[in-house]
Amino acid sequence: MGDASASDALVISRWNLIPDQGIGDGIFHVGVVAFHSHGMDRVEFSLNNGPWISISERSVNPRTNVEEYFVTLDGSKYSENELQIKAVCYPKNGKTFVHNSIRLFKNDPGKIVQLPSGDHDLAVLEDTHKPPHDGWLVFKPEDGVSQDSCRIVGGTRFWGGRYKFEGLTIKIGGADDEFAYGAQGEGKNSWFWYDKCMVIGNGPVDRSRWMNHNWDKTFATDSKFTKLKVVFHGSSGQLLCRNCEIYDVYEDVFRAFGLVTGTSVKDLVRPEEHFHPDLLDFANTWIQNNVIFHNCNFDNVQAQGFAGGEIENTAFVDVKGNFPGWSSMQISGKVENLFMQNTDLIGGARFRNLKDEECKNIVFRKCKLGWQEPFEPALYKNPSYSNIHEHPAMIWTDEVVK
């Protein structure tokens, strides 16, 4: 069942941080989520090319409520305004991952627009308020205005810039509206961030999606999403989805990938037969490299779970999902560095038409895949499936690593 003694696999890691924020004079925790199929040794951080600080254990970051490797910044100690943080992730046995540096500011260069109670047309907001050169353009309710009484409606195109929507209700327009898709990003450096928002679609129609076109980065933190045909679509560069709730949706949830942590999906049910629902649609996206699903729960997902083409450097850790009547995994082609640990995906699990010469470092640690007992790998004695439990690239074990 594979050789668990050595690996040339790369660490799989993502920043759990939205860049270009201001930290002020207070405490701010900065971290990464990192996994390796043979265990992590440490993560080292450096601020503004200063000394490296080594973190050897994951712990809960109080800023994100996520178990990660993190360091603590104290804004009162810095004279520089621009803060560049580097991180390097070292496995116990494998290839080191070097992160691109990420930028923060001591003094926030962003701009805040506070909105009164009522409906606010997205096109008018985009035309009236332009994002700063650095930092974020933040739309949030005025003090004392509740989330449900302050709504963003309509849609428009964004031509670059960083837009944050905080504590708002976002209601997509009607199915026949010109911009029923909502926020259409165009070009590089178009960044969009939902924080503590309620995002509501317009039901099971084709144009019921908010993100569309070529957003460079999408961030969703502590937000809720419902009544959408497609939830995350159109982020060519990066998705960070942290501590979100997604429920009563109709077709695809993830067509954009990066780090998804602390997130639940409940009741993904197609309303019509011609819908082709996938929880994670790797076959219909730009990015499928360096992907993490961590501490996620998928309940009553009446859809294909993990539908993919070629996959590289992808981790599922502490993920639980049930897919009644559907395949929990359907993967074909090249698979390189797929790591699953403490993950139960209950539904048909298929590896078909694998490109054997291009498959390596596929590791399952304490996982359950399949409809019922016996779970993997014994399930695959059925000759209609690939005999994957004998594939030389695969490791099946109940031993877990840190």
pTM of the model: 0.91
pLDDT 10s per residue in the chain (402 long)?
A: 444 444 789 999 999 999 999 999 999 999 999 999 999 999 999 999 999 999 999 999 999 999 999 999 999 999 999 999 999 999 999 999 999 999 999 999 999 999 999 999 888 888 899 999 889 999 999 999 999 999 998 777 777 789 999 999 998 765 445 445 566 666 667 888 999 999 988 877 666 666 655 677 889 999 999 998 888 876 566 899 999 999 999 888 888 889 999 999 999 988 887 788 889 887 655 556 899 999 999 999 998 888 776 788 999 999 999 988 787 887 777 788 999 999 998 887 777 666 666 788 889 899 888 776 656 554 444 444 444 445 667 788 888 998
Per the structure block, which two tokens stand in for 180? 């029923």
Please give the Cα distance from 213 to 48 (Å, whole number): 35
What per-residue confidence (pLDDT) applies to 297? 97
* pLDDT (tens digit per residue) in 329-341: 877 777 889 999 9
Task: Say what the pLDDT of residue 286 is.
Answer: 54
Q: How far apart are CA 50 and CA 200, in angstroms?
A: 45
CB-CB neighbours of 164 under 10 Å:
23
What 3 state SS string does the chain have? Answer: CCCCCCCCCECEEEECCCCCCECCCCEEEEEEEEECCCCEEEEEEEECCCCCEEECCCEEECCCCEEEEEEEEEHHHCCCCEEEEEEEEEECCCECEECCCEEEECCCCCEEEEECCEEEEHHHHHHHCCCCCCCCEEEEECCCCCHHHEEEECCEEECCEEEEEECCEEECCCCCCCCCCCEEECCCCEEEEEECCEEECCCCCCCCECEEECEEEEEEECCEEECCCEEECCEEEEEEEECCEEEEECCEEECCCEEEECCEEEEEECCCCCCCCEEEEHHHCCCCEEEEEEEEEEEEEECEEEEECCEEEEEEEEEEEEEEEEEEEEEEECEEEEEEECCEEEEEEEEEEECHHHCEEEEEECCEEECCCCCCCHHHHCCCCCCHHHCCCEEEECCCCC
Domain chopping of the chain, boundaries: 12-105, 111-397
Distance CA 351, CA 6 (A): 23
Structure tokens at 97: 């991952």
**pLDDT value at residue 103:** 96
Q: Percent of the chain having pLDDT more than 90?
A: 51
Compute the CA torsion angle 392, 394, 395, 400 (nearest 10 deg): 160
Architecture of the CATH domain 12-105:
Sandwich (2.60)
- The reported pLDDT for the residue numbered 352 is 63
Q: In whole angstroms, what is the distance from residue 86 CA to residue 22 CA? A: 17
Q: What is the pLDDT of residue 355?
A: 64
152 contact partners, CB below 8 Å, separation of at least 6: 119, 120, 122, 125, 139, 165, 168, 169, 170, 171
Residue 281 in tokens: 């649609």
pLDDT attached to residue 387 = 42
pLDDT number for residue 122? 86
